[in-house]
A and B are shown apart, each in its own frame.
Chain A
Amino acid sequence: DGGITQSPKYLFRKEGQNVTLSCEQNLNHDAMYWYRQDPGQGLRLIYYSQIVNDFQKGDIAEGYSVSREKKESFPLTVTSAQKNPTAFYLCASSIASGRGSYNEQFFGPGTRLTVL
């Protein structure tokens, strides 16, 4: 049963602590993405990766870090440098981006992070 998973669904952390969010996919997709969503807002791109061992910053990368050591995995670390980390975090994957063309992204269920 192919899909994309995120864990945990809910996460609580104290201010000043780093926290790592998990994202795994078995769709054999080359590209993976991390988004942040705040209440009533759209999704904002944090980081994306088109291929293993390579990733690029999105629109709001400050205070976050990622790694892409395996095709299936794209963990996101929310560091203490992120000023407002409380949000809903979504991971997605897709086939490698074509130029302007088909790029359907499949999303995981999300992780709701609350920093106390």
Chain B
Amino acid sequence: LAKTTQPISMDSYEGQEVNITCSHNNIATNDYITWYQQFPSQGPRFIIQGYKTKVTNEVASLFIPADRKSSTLSLPRVSLSDTAVYYCLAPQGSARQLTFGSGTQLTVLP
């Protein structure tokens, strides 16, 4: 199973770049890595998804090395409003369901 492991929490300051790394040692050949963001008392929101190398959108970048055993979500120049929980997901089980772990609590400080 492609169980993911990520840090429980991270602190950063406004304007800094934040990198959150997720390990997924047993990811299957065809599986994508997906990241979600969740604010308190709201449902998670899709941020980015990737298969290999680098993916960039208006919100974040996702770096996946050639061995695909890990991935790094990069948030450029964070602001206070980026304080949230960030989940790294990979499909699991025969039904290929995305499973949310505990995520990484990112706290952006002024």
| Cβ < 8 Å to B, chain A residues 57-116 | 58-59, 88, 90, 92, 97-110, 112
Residues of chain A within 8 A (CB-CB) of B44 are 43, 90, 105, 107
Query: CB-CB < 8 A to A109: which residues of B?
Result: 42-43
Cβ-defined contact, B43 with A110, below 8 A:
yes
Contact B97 A48, beta carbon cutoff 8 Å: yes
CB-based contact A104/B46 at 8 Å? yes
Which listed residue (B28, B41, B91) contacts A103, Cβ 8 A?
B91
Chain A residues near B28: list those with CB within 8 A.
Answer: 100
Report whether A103 and B31 are in contact in the complex, using a CB–CB cutoff of 8 Å.
Answer: no
B-contact bits for A33-63, CB 8 A (1 contact / 0 none)? 0010000111111001000000010110000
A-B contact pairs, 16 of them (CB 8 A): A40-B102, A42-B100, A42-B101, A43-B100, A45-B97, A48-B95, A90-B44, A99-B96, A100-B31, A102-B49, A103-B34, A104-B46, A107-B42, A107-B43, A109-B43, A112-B41
Does B13 sit at the interface, judged by CB under 8 A? Answer: no
Beyond known contacts A42-B87, A104-B49, A107-B43: 12 more, CB 8 A cutoff? A41-B102, A42-B102, A43-B100, A44-B100, A88-B41, A90-B43, A97-B95, A97-B96, A103-B91, A105-B98, A107-B44, A112-B41
The CA-CA distance from A35 to B103 in the complex, in Å, is 15
A-chain residues with CB within 8 Å of residue B99 when the two chains form the complex: 45, 59
**Bound: A66/B78 CA distance, A:** 40
Interface SS, B side: loop
Partner of B45, one of A40, A97, A101, A107: A107
Interface pair B30/A101, CB less than 8 Å apart: yes
Residue ID in chain B nearest A112 by CB atoms: B41
Minimum CB–CB distance from A23 to chain B (whole Å) comes to 11
User: Taking the nearest CB of chain A, how far is it from the CB of B85, in angstroms?
Assistant: 8
A58 to B93, CA, bound (A): 11
Contact residues in A for B97 (Cβ distance below 8 Å) = 45, 48, 58, 97
CB nearest to A92 among chain B residues: B43
Q: Which residues of B contact A58 (CB under 8 A)?
A: 97
